[in-house]
Chain A
Amino acid sequence: MASLIIAEQSFSSRLILGTSRYPNIKVMLESFDASGAEMVTVAIRRINLADHSRESLLKLLSDKKLKILPNTAGCYTAAEAVFTAQLAREALGTNWVKLEVIGDDETLFPDIPELLKAAEQLLSKGFIVLPYCTDDPVTCKKLADMGCAAVMPLGAPIGSGMGIRNPYNIQIIRDLVKIPLIIDAGVGTASDVAIAMELGCDGVLLNTAIAGAEHPVKMAKAIRLATEAGRLAYEAGRIPRKLYANASSPIDGLTAHTVAHVS
């Protein structure tokens, strides 16, 4: 199986995981191990100044040798997102950012004009930009042409577990953009991930599907296998869909009795 390359960095796992909503830290770390993921996302928030004994999430993740991808979750304007990315770069020493600019707090759909503006500004400041966007081929093409390191369209709303709602758009996006295509948000279970991979996506970014599962560690393993299965199927090249049957066994050499049925 080919490895995933983003901004010249090679990953043997095609999964990127969120670090939120796990029952506890232990289950989170065990899930990361089971998933094989090499990159995880974090958010940037104000420090609670009353709490002098800050537990270091960063240390836990670094001990696991995970690459940390800060996000700009919770930002509603380009200005907020750019500021958050700059804080993240200073705090974490990385110029990589999962760019999120939310347009609506109920659906958490991205605000595309603000997203494009933020992407442009961050690229000009030397960031490696991985934008969370809608599954709109034109938007993805624009982000790719601009110089983003990947495009990350949603499969369905964040945390919804609805799967890949518009596989046809994802297929078109796959044809349109040559940079890594990563499904970000919406997957609910292993088969959703397999579908994304079979469509030709280079990877999947998810959080709730594992963190919210009844048994997160087991789901992490299932999703790891689905990622590999889906990718292998894509590389193998599936057969075209046909409406009618096409016999697998040879027609030649049938006995006299059965030949009567073959028109």
Chain B
Amino acid sequence: MSVMNKTIIVFVNGKELSLDEGTTLTKFLRSFSIMPDERGVAVALDGEVVGKKAWETTFLVSGQKVEIVHAVQGG
């Protein structure tokens, strides 16, 4: 029974962030107020798109590159 959570480093939209090991995508994104039912958001881990249904079962891994995007005005 360990009370100390191991910390990992991930790169989110190009910025380094540390978080607890074993964090799911759902939990991680909720910390940025991004909910799975929010339309218009997509997430990729190391260049692979992760569908919303898989957020709950996807754990972030140390060194991973996380891209979180949405639609903006464009031509």
Contact = CB atoms under 8 A, between A and B. Distances in A.
Interface in B56-75: 67-75
B71 A92 contact: yes
Contact of B69 (A20, A22, A46, A159): A46
A42 B14 contact: no
B13 A87 contact: no
Given A44-B69, A47-B69, A52-B33, A90 B75 contact: no
Most buried by A among B49, B73, B75: B75
A147 B33 CA distance: 40
B13 A47 contact: yes
Contact of A87 (B12, B44, B74): B44
Contacts of A56: 39-40
A13 interface: no
Interface of A is mostly: mixed
A47 B70 contact: yes
A190 B26 CA distance: 48
Most buried by B among A19, A52, A87: A87
A43 interface: yes
Given A52-B32, A56-B40, A90 B71 contact: no
Contact of B42 (A19, A20, A54, A88): A88
Interface of B: 12-15, 32-34, 39-44, 47, 49, 51-52, 67-75
Interface of A: 18-22, 28, 41-47, 49, 52, 54, 56-58, 68, 70-71, 73, 83, 86-93, 158-159, 207-208
Given A47-B69, A52-B33, 12 more contacts: A18-B75, A43-B71, A47-B13, A49-B12, A56-B39, A57-B40, A57-B73, A87-B49, A90-B51, A91-B69, A92-B39, A208-B75
